Amino acid sequence: MTFSVTILGSSGSYAAPNNPCTGYLLRSPGATVLLDCGPGTVGPLQTEIDLLDLDAIVLTHCHPDHWMELPVLRNVFTYFAVRTELPVFGTAETKALNDAVTISGRAETFDWTTIDPLSTLEIGDQSWSFTLADHPVETLAPTVVVDGKTFVFTSDSGPGWDFTEAAQEIDLALADASHLSAFEGGSIPHMSAREAAVRARQAGVKRLVLTHLVPGSDPEAHRAEAEAAYGGPVEVALPGCTFTI
Ligand SMILES: [Zn+2]
Ligand SMILES: [Zn+2]
């Protein structure tokens, strides 16, 4: 088995009719990790794995489109496919919100560890580190290395973040490209497809995948704008796609 990233959902801010919010499955020979747990992701997660095979969950920030399927996953592990103390890693803000919707006495389903930009994690053979994204809440952009291969997810980020902060050599980048360049320069805390692509090109990213497109967006318009800035092929994250690194 190689290191791969499977798209469970890639819609930004809210789910599209056939595309849940953010959720990615990172599989390597030594670990199976859910990166973000946005609304609607537990369904497609079951088409990829037996839920009991999940080793950990990493949540990048507290915005609801990135974690609010977690209480639903708790239902699964509390009442049906019972398991306890599944490791969950997330920010302090996300923990506070999760605690507010956790029924007392059932907290043992997850073993929560609060993380910040200085945290490093070893999950099986996956080495995780983080940089602080450009977003209104504490948002962690993960860098994951397996056997010398590097994956970076921008999480949600405006243009004040750069790939060069994350790693020197990036084999696959999944980049927030919520909007098109026509909306640059305003108060939107996300990158345009062009902004993500310029940063990827400058950092020498080997393969660029756009994500977090808002429902109703034209994926081809995002791809075309990004390819012009990147100077090569760019892909758009669609549910069910697997990218092997
Ligand atoms: Zn988001
Ligand atoms: Zn966000």
pTM over 0.95, yes/no: yes
State the total domains in the chain.
1
Instruction: Please give the distance, rounded to the nearest whole angstrom, from the Cα atom of residue 81 to the centre of ligand 2.
Output: 30
Q: What is the CATH number of the domain that holds 213?
A: 3.60.15.10
Contact of 14 with 26, CB cutoff 8 Å: no
Nearest to 178 by CA among 165, 163, 188: 188
Tens of pLDDT, residue by residue over 1-38, are: 799 999 999 999 999 999 999 999 999 999 999 999 99
Q: CB atoms < 10 A from the CB of 170, how many?
A: 22
| Bridge partners of residue 121, in order along the sequence | 128
Rounded to whole angstroms, the Cα distance separating 1 from 177 reads 30
Strands 126-132 and 23-28: unpaired
Q: Is the pLDDT of residue 106 over 80?
A: no
Instruction: Please give the distance, rounded to the nearest whole angstrom, from the Cα atom of residue 69 to the centre of ligand 1.
Output: 13
Tens of pLDDT, residue by residue over 128-171, are: 999 999 999 999 999 999 999 999 999 999 999 999 999 999 99
Contact of 74 with 109, CB cutoff 8 Å: yes
Nearest to 145 by CA among 116, 163, 124: 124
Instruction: Please give the distance, rounded to the nearest whole angstrom, from the Cα atom of residue 224 to the centre of ligand 2.
Output: 24
Q: CB atoms < 10 A from the CB of 14, how many?
A: 14
Sheet strands side by side (includes 149-153): 120-123, 126-132, 140-146, 149-153, 172-176, 208-211, 235-236
Tell me the two tokens of residue 129: 């580190």
Rounded to whole angstroms, the Cα distance separating 16 from 4 reads 24
Tens of pLDDT, residue by residue over 221-239, are: 999 999 999 999 999 999 9
Predicted local distance difference test score (pLDDT) of residue 62: 98
Q: Is the pLDDT of residue 177 over 80?
A: yes
Predicted local distance difference test score (pLDDT) of residue 103: 73
Rounded to whole angstroms, the Cα distance separating 211 from 216 reads 13
Predicted local distance difference test score (pLDDT) of residue 108: 87
Instruction: Please give the distance, rounded to the nearest whole angstrom, from the Cα atom of residue 25 to the centre of ligand 2.
Output: 19
Instruction: Please give the distance, rounded to the nearest whole angstrom, from the Cα atom of residue 67 to the centre of ligand 2.
Output: 10
Give the percent of the chain with pLDDT over 90.
94
Instruction: Please give the distance, rounded to the nearest whole angstrom, from the Cα atom of residue 168 to the centre of ligand 2.
Output: 25
Instruction: Please give the distance, rounded to the nearest whole angstrom, from the Cα atom of residue 93 to the centre of ligand 2.
Output: 12
Domain span at residue 50 reads 4-244
Predicted local distance difference test score (pLDDT) of residue 29: 98
